[in-house]
Each structure stands twice: as structure tokens, then as C-alpha cells.
């Protein structure tokens, strides 16, 4: 059987998983692709470090030039992470005629368009299924199964760390700080968790999903990003009392041919399938004009789930090589990006407020709402400690402009302060 030579850049958790799956499912992969997939070379930062996997007779070096020049390697798997030097490495490899599979979402979200162009010029495949939602085959599904549909919205839970933290707060009634600490101890959060808890990681994934669902390239600056680090246990409990679960939701919506992309905490009704997504799992909802609402659920990270997505890319590239059709972009749906204006972006909102327990405050609040043409769906005064009353309200749909006006108006009031504001799904 003819061979396909595989090169690995990086041999950490995901890299080891790729080696393991290639070894364990050798026969099935050969049966499907008609090729024997053989690891020919590994390049890592530190070749002397002890590894979990055994690769006898495979050269392991630190110099990217070794990989670039190895003519036995046709497909290189980049699982080293970070942008520098991964971007330059992938560029060199593509220019040298290698096909590339990567799991690097930061890179694809920020430099993907450029690398995709280079791959196309050189007629090489560049695939990155594992860059979004680890084990969920969401990118390939959008390409293959929504081609004849018009996607109206792609949204969901695309960061496992924050979902783990929120699940712990929900189930164990612990504070954000305590939940973060336990996530760090269990390895679900990094020692510097900023990228995850501030919503940046989720935003990178939404950049890639937006490209696939709408064919539009957006940047981090185009996305309203809010993290979970200001969510209090009181917010979680209050939401629960009202029948909601707070989740970090990434959403890209089409509004009159333009799009709005956001990442932020939102109240999800208990009956919504996203409310049931627990711990480090991810779920992506795709709404199509024809199909309606579909959801894809699974592990968002982890050695073998991510490695499986890498393997599905390797198999796809191998088939393309066999048929002689490499160089088609992973997603060939492209159109100019246009962002929806603030007045077109609508949602219901939850407001938690603290007001001095003196007559007339509720009247003041309802006046603010009336002036911005916003109406309540629910308004509850939950408790008073004598001096201050706690009030939560859920509005009917308002636009971002109205939201801004309400928060500014409340900030100017003497006896009412805004504790938190979240979208309501």
C-alpha cells in the first residue's frame, strides 16, 4: 500500500493523542483512505524531553528546516500552539509544498486568512477542524451539510474552562474565585486564566465559526467581548430562581445581510438544550433558514477528542491527495464582512439593581425604562436589608442603543445602582 508521510510539530497532549490514534486505528484508516499513514519526523522545542509516546526510528529534532526539507513528509500536523513561531513555520511548510493540519485557534483566528491564501496559491490543503470545539466536528459539518441552507445564527458554548467554572458555581453554590481555584487544581483552567475567563478564547472561536457560517472575516475588534469574572454567586442563584442558567455564550447572527458577533454571559432558559451542557463540554447551535435549529454537543478539549478532529483532517487531506484535488480551501464560502448597527441588534436583558429603600425609587426606575421605550417582562423586588432593596428585571427585546441609554441613565441616579446586566436567550 502506498504511504503518506506525516510530520508532527509539537508532541504535547494533542500530539501524543494523534500518535496514539494513528497507531491504534491504523487498519481502519488504511481501509478508508487506501494509504498507510506513517509518522516520518517530529520537530519540538526540546527534543531531549521525555515523552509519553514511543516513536522508534522517528527523528525528533528542534529545527523546523529539518521538516521543511524532508521530502518523505507530505502532511504536517501543527500542535505546538502560540502564534510565533507557528505562523512562520506553517508558511514555510506550505511554501515547501507540505499540506498542513493545525489545532491552533489563536493562529487561525488572527492569521488564518493569510495562511489560507498561501495554501491556495501553492495548491496545498490547510485544515483546522480541531481549532473550534475540540471533539465536535462543527466546521466540516457546516461546510458539508449547510451548503444548501442559509445560516441565520451560529451560537453556543465554545469555551470549556468557563463552562466548567459556571457549572461548579451553579451546582455547588460556590463563588467565582472558589470555582476558578478548583478548575485550576483539576487542570481545567490555566494558572493565568485570563484568556479563557475574559472571553477572548471564545471570541477567537467565534471568528472562525463566523467565517464558516457567513463567509465573513471579522477581527477581535469587531466583537463585543465580556468574560465571566464579574459573575457573582448571587447572579447565578437569582437566575436559577427565575428558571435560567448563566452560560458564557458566543453568538454570530445575521441581521438583514449584516452580522453581529458577541461573547458574553447570558441567561439561558432551563428548557433550552444549551442549559444542560455541563462542565468542560461544548455545544454549538446552528440555525438555518431551512433546517431550523440544530445543536452539536461534545467535549470541547482533551487529548483524544482533539486528536480525533486532527485525524479527520489528516484523512480528508489524504483523500484529496489520492484524488488529486488538494488546494481547495477548507471553507470556500466568502463574502465581504458587514457589521450590523447597534440599533439592529436586539435581545432581552436581565438587570440586577440595588436601590435605597425609600419611597419613589421604583417610580424613578420605571421612568428610565419608559423614556427608552423599554418594557418589562418580569420585575421582582427580591429582598430588602432595611436600607437597600434588591430588584431584578427582565426586559422584552431592546436594542444595544436602548441598553446603553438605560445603563447610562441608571448610573446617573443617586439612589439606584446597577449590579449586573446580562443578555437573556
- Active-site residues, by number, are 205
C-beta closer to its own copies: residue 244 or 349: 244
The radius of gyration of the chain's CA atoms, rounded to the nearest angstrom, is 24
Q: Is 136 in the site for its own copies (CB under 8 A)?
A: yes
Which parts are annotated binding residues for NADPH?
105
Choose, by CB under 8 A, the member of 129, 196, 201, 222 that binds its own copies: 129
In terms of Cα–Cα distance, which of 365, 412, 361 is closest to 393?
Answer: 365
How far apart CA 262 and CA 264 sit, in angstroms, is 7
C-beta closer to its own copies: residue 141 or 182: 141
Only one of the segments 61-69, 133-141, 220-228, 240-248 lies at the binding site for its own copies (rule: CB under 8 A); that segment is 133-141
Q: In the complex, what is the shortest distance from the CB of residue 222 to its own copies, in angstroms, rounded to a whole number?
A: 23
Helix (H) or strand (E) holding 246: strand 244-255
C-beta closer to its own copies: residue 126 or 368: 126
How far apart CA 48 and CA 134 sit, in angstroms, is 28
Cα 353 to the center of its chain, rounded Å: 31
Segment 146-175, which members bind its own copies (CB under 8 A)?
146-150
Segment 45-104, which members bind its own copies (CB under 8 A)?
none
How far are the Cα atoms of 147, 332, 369, 398, 406 from residue 411, in angstroms, in the given order? 46, 47, 13, 18, 9
Choose, by CB under 8 A, the member of 5, 15, 112, 135 that binds its own copies: 135
Q: Is 31 in the site for its own copies (CB under 8 A)?
A: yes
How far are the Cα atoms of 119, 199, 244, 294, 328 from residue 273, in angstroms, in the given order? 38, 21, 12, 10, 35
Only one of the segments 80-88, 136-144, 369-377, 415-423 lies at the binding site for its own copies (rule: CB under 8 A); that segment is 136-144
Only one of the segments 4-12, 27-35, 112-120, 362-370 lies at the binding site for its own copies (rule: CB under 8 A); that segment is 27-35
Instruction: Give 292: exposed, middle or buried? Use CB within 10 Å, 0-12, 13-18, 19+.
Output: exposed
C-beta closer to its own copies: residue 10 or 135: 135
How far apart CA 161 and CA 182 sit, in angstroms, is 11
**Which residue has cell 458577541?**
262
Segment 252-311, which members bind its own copies (CB under 8 A)?
271, 273, 275-278, 288-299, 302, 304-305, 307-309, 311
Helix (H) or strand (E) holding 292: strand 292-299
C-beta closer to its own copies: residue 28 or 50: 28
Total Cβ atoms within 10 A of residue 321: 19
In terms of Cα–Cα distance, which of 139, 22, 1, 136 is closest to 77?
Answer: 22
Which parts are annotated binding residues for NADP(+)?
9-16
How far apart CA 305 and CA 221 sit, in angstroms, is 30
| Torsion over CA: 142, 333, 160, 108 (sign) | positive
Choose, by CB under 8 A, the member of 51, 140, 354, 405 that binds its own copies: 140
Q: Is 376 in the site for its own copies (CB under 8 A)?
A: no
Q: Taking a C-beta distance cutoff of 8 angstroms, is the pair 101, 314 a contact?
A: yes
Q: What does the per-residue mask of binding to its own copies show for 301-320, with x meaning CB under 8 A?
A: -x-xx-xxx-xx-xxx----
Q: Is 350 in the site for its own copies (CB under 8 A)?
A: no
C-beta closer to its own copies: residue 49 or 173: 173
- Three cell numbers, residue 54: 514511543
Q: Is 17 in the site for its own copies (CB under 8 A)?
A: yes
How far apart CA 340 and CA 224 sit, in angstroms, is 12
Q: In the complex, what is the shortest distance from the CB of residue 211 to its own copies, in angstroms, rounded to a whole number?
A: 15
Judged by the rule CB under 8 A, the positions of this chain that interact with its own copies are 17, 21-22, 24-25, 28-29, 31-32, 129, 135-137, 140-141, 144-150, 271, 273, 275-278, 288-299, 302, 304-305, 307-309, 311-312, 314-316, 323, 325, 332-333
Amino acid at each position: 500500500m502506498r504511504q503518506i508521510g506525516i510530520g508532527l510539530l509539537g508532541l504535547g497532549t494533542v500530539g501524543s493523542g494523534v500518535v496514539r490514534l494513528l497507531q491504534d486505528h491504523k487498519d481502519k484508516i488504511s481501509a478508508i483512505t487506501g494509504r498507510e499513514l506513517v509518522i516520518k519526523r517530529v520537530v519540538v522545542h526540546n527534543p531531549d524531553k521525555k515523552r509519553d509516546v514511543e516513536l522508534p526510528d522517528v527523528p525528533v529534532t528542534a529545527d523546523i528546516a529539518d521538516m521543511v526539507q524532508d521530502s518523505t513528509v507530505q502532511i504536517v500536523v501543527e500542535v505546538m500552539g502560540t502564534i510565533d513561531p507557528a505562523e512562520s513555520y506553517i508558511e514555510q511548510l506550505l511554501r515547501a509544498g507540505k499540506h498542513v493540519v493545525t489545532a491552533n485557534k489563536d493562529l487561525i483566528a488572527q492569521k488564518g486568512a493569510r495562511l489560507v491564501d498561501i495554501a491556495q496559491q501553492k495548491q496545498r490543503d490547510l485544515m483546522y477542524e480541531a481549532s473550534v470545539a475540540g471533539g465536535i466536528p462543527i466546521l466540516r459539518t457546516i461546510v458539508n451539510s449547510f451548503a444548501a441552507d442559509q445560516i441565520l445564527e451560529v451560537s453556543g458554548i465554545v469555551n470549556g474552562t468557563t463552562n466548567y467554572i459556571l457549572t461548579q458555581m451553579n451546582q455547588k453554590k460556590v463563588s467565582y474565585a472558589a470555582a476558578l481555584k478548583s478548575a485550576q487544581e483539576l487542570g481545567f483552567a490555566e494558572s493565568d486564566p485570563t484568556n479563557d475567563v475574559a472571553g477572548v478564547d471564545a471570541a477567537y472561536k467565534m471568528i472562525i465559526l463566523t467565517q464558516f457560517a457567513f463567509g465573513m472575516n471579522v477581527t477581535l475588534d469587531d466583537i463585543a467581548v465580556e468574560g465571566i469574572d464579574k459573575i457573582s454567586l448571587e447572579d447565578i442563584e437569582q437566575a436559577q430562581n427565575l428558571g435560567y442558567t448563566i452560560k458564557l455564550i458566543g453568538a454570530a447572527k445575521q441581521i438583514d445581510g449584516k452580522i453581529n458577533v458577541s461573547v458574553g454571559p447570558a441567561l439561558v432558559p432551563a428548557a433550552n438544550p444549551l442549559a444542560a451542557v455541563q462542565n468542560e463540554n461544548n455545544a454549538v447551535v446552528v440555525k438555518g433558514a431551512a433546517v431550523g435549529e440544530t445543536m452539536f454537543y461534545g467535549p470541547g478539549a482533551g487529548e483524544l477528542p482533539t486528536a480525533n478532529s486532527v485525524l479527520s483532517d489528516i484523512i480528508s487531506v489524504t483523500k484529496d491527495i489520492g484524488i488529486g484535488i488538494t488546494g481547495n480551501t477548507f471553507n470556500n464560502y466568502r463574502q465581504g464582512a458587514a457589521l450590523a448597527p447597534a440599533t439592529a441588534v436586539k435581545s432581552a436583558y436581565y438587570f440586577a439593581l440595588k436601590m435605597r429603600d425609600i419611597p419613589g425609587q421604583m417610580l424613578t426606575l420605571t421612568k428610565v425604562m419608559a423614556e427608552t421605550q423599554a418594557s418589562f417582562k418580569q420585575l421582582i423586588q427580591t429582598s430588602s436589608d432595611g436600607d437597600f432593596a434588591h430588584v431584578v428585571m427582565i426586559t422584552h427585546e431592546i436594542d444595544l442603543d436602548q441598553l446603553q441609554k438605560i445603563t447610562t441613565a441608571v448610573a446617573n441616579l443617586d439612589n439606584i445602582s446597577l449590579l449586573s446586566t446580562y443578555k437573556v436567550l
